[in-house]
Amino acid sequence: MPFMYILECADHSYYVGSTWDLEKRLAQHNSGIGGAAYTRRRRPVRLVYCEQSDRIEDAYAREKQIQNWGRAKRIALIEGRYDDLPGLSRPKGD
């Protein structure tokens, strides 16, 4: 099953991605292989959130959506504070 996932990096930044195989992809991030230069420079990383999808296209679309979110909104999602998400949206044009 495809997944959208959020990793917390060693520098406390967040990386958002999508994959078919979450366990394998996490191992790739932590070993520095797999093409993610961002996490390669910020290891180790740890999985802090994931969502399962029926289709990889849905996981990828969700990845792109969350990549456009600010840090506070990502943290609210990770912490399960779903009611806070609308109030943390960035104004158009930011």
Share of the chain above pLDDT 70, in %: 94
What is the pTM for the complete model shown?
0.92
Quick: pLDDT tens for 1-43: 899 999 999 999 999 999 999 999 999 999 998 778 999 999 9
Fold of 3-69: GIY-YIG endonuclease (3.40.1440)
Residues listed for the chain? 94
pLDDT of residue 69: 95
List, in sequence order, every beta strand (DSSP E) within the chain.
3-8, 14-19, 46-52
Name residue, tokens 């997944």.
Answer: 3
Give residue limits of the domains in the chain: 3-69
Share of the chain above pLDDT 90, in %: 86
Residue 94 pLDDT > 70: no
